[in-house]
A and B are shown apart, each in its own frame.
Chain A
């Protein structure tokens, strides 16, 4: 468990409150995956595939990259993370719990009546959740608003938005892509969880989005492609993004849907289906 005394206060210089080492990140990644499996299995519904593909990107941000203060979620100078693919909420909840925004024990209340952990991320309910999601395509526009506010207020916080690749089929994403470049928002970074699948199958068969990198470039963005499960690559990409000036950066993170659980990897069945108790047991054993 991270040492709480490391948590920043408003007066301290910018730093990540956890600053985990590479082996610590690897261990945290397995732990977060165990949380995801347990949460969704306990709830009996949810989206394991896209949570497991996204979790390393979110972990890299909260445990290494972002300046944030779990004791003070409203800290005005915090870096913001917006989960636009709202069905990946279990991954965010697991990270927020391990970051001490709320107790880890609360994770198994996911999707239950009166729980603070709603089926899709909801800013009305959960400490640390910046924005509600669930209808796809909204998060980037919201992130632009936050990034513009930073500029108006002359604050130097960063805004990070996590999209899914299937989500890039939503027209609003491209409205937002146009405007973020138009407004030259270099304090805004998008990460795309490029797991190549969506609810009913392979993205290339449902609605092809290639060439994705070239599309974002054509919209005026700096693009970085990376492996979305190797922490050294994810961290390098986010660090590079922060150095790009005059335009926003998109990190296309190649991931595997269901990553870390052999029978869930690239298995579209687990897009929106909870593991049975037996499957959960097998998954947890693989993640020890």
Chain B
């Protein structure tokens, strides 16, 4: 797992592919196209790309208008601006009318690093999961990103896809069979299940290897879709392994951990542990340094798994 690739670059390249296949693809950005990689699409299809400037609220409304006119609209910005900055616009103009808008946000979480707390989107998934009509996806690597973006284009309705700033380890081969709302079990195990998303999936796999050397057999699930959640896989994991760790680059409240816990509490209560950001913001620093500071590491997951296994 040494090979790495950029999820946002995978997004930009996939947009070009989609643009070649379908003339109804329209892409919007808010002056961040060089970072979100939508500029790759803009170069190929200048007439189907609109830079909305630093007007995220306006961009979402424009996206809704285009979608209501039959377009498949991708709107991109940094995750922090694509969620907090325009939430009312997303709610009224995209979510409630269930329009065909795909919000693909890059620079999710604290791995953004040096730009500091203002740029760390750690509430975005909670916000988007709160919207009834949204499909919310956090791909684990570049291959999964490509598949998720294609699935979003092919499926009518609002999507939020969160990508990362740094390159992420490649987990999948091109033959990945990606289904929205259906998790991927990357490792079978019977003692504990680690459910992760995004950059935490690779760390979960590392943790599982370490745990194996200590006699703990871990299942690892890539829960790429937060909404709708793969309830079946969660119930099965709770029943078969009896303990669950959820790892996410997000605040504790309202993210993947909360959502999995709801299902576990309702369907099959088992001990759970959470690797995430408690009630606080991070600060400037290198992405990896911040992840270490807040325990969003393979070691953090390993520790949580050992503790939760003891509670069984």
Contacts and interface: CB of A to CB of B under 8 A. Distances in A.
B69 A145 contact: yes
A183 interface: yes
B306 to A, nearest CB: 48
Given A132-B92, A148-B50, A172-B89, A141 B69 contact: no
Given A123-B97, A175-B57, A179-B58, A142 B64 contact: yes
B175 interface: no
Given A149-B69, A153-B69, A142 B93 contact: yes
A43 interface: no
A182 B70 CA distance: 23
Interface centre among B53, B58, B70 (most CB of A within 10 A): B58
Contacts of B55: 175-176, 178-179
**Would you list the 10 A-B pairs with minimal beta carbon distance, nearest first?**
A145-B65, A141-B61, A149-B69, A175-B58, A175-B55, A145-B62, A145-B66, A142-B65, A146-B65, A172-B57
B57 A146 contact: no
A141 B58 contact: yes
B96 interface: yes
Interface in B35-50: 47-48, 50
Interface string A163-197: 00000000110011011001100000000000000
A150 interface: yes
Interface of A: 122-124, 130-135, 137-150, 152-153, 171-172, 175-176, 178-179, 182-183
A218 B269 CA distance: 62
Contacts of A175: 55, 57-58
Interface of A is mostly: helix
Nearest to B86: A172
A153 B24 CA distance: 9
Contacts of B96: 122, 124, 132
Contacts of B98: 124
Contacts of B62: 141-142, 144-145, 148, 179
B220 to A, nearest CB: 40
What bracket does the count of chain B residues touching chain A fall in?
A: 20 to 34
B288 interface: no
Contacts of B71: 149, 152
B92 to A, nearest CB: 5
A141 B52 CA distance: 11
A152 B69 CA distance: 10
Interface in B57-93: 57-71, 88-89, 91-93
B26 interface: yes
Contact of B57 (A141, A149, A150): A141
- Which residue, A141, A144, A152, A178, has most C-beta atoms of chain B within 10 A? A141
Interface string B115-135: 000000000000000000000
Nearest to B26: A152
Contact of B68 (A122, A133, A134, A145): A145
Contacts of B88: 135
Among A124, A131, A133, A183, max chain B CB count under 10 A is at A131
A286 B47 CA distance: 54
Contact of B61 (A123, A124, A145, A152): A145
Contacts of B93: 131-132, 138, 141-142
17 contacts: A134-B92, A135-B92, A141-B59, A141-B62, A142-B62, A142-B93, A143-B65, A144-B65, A145-B61, A145-B66, A148-B66, A149-B66, A149-B70, A149-B71, A172-B57, A172-B58, A183-B50
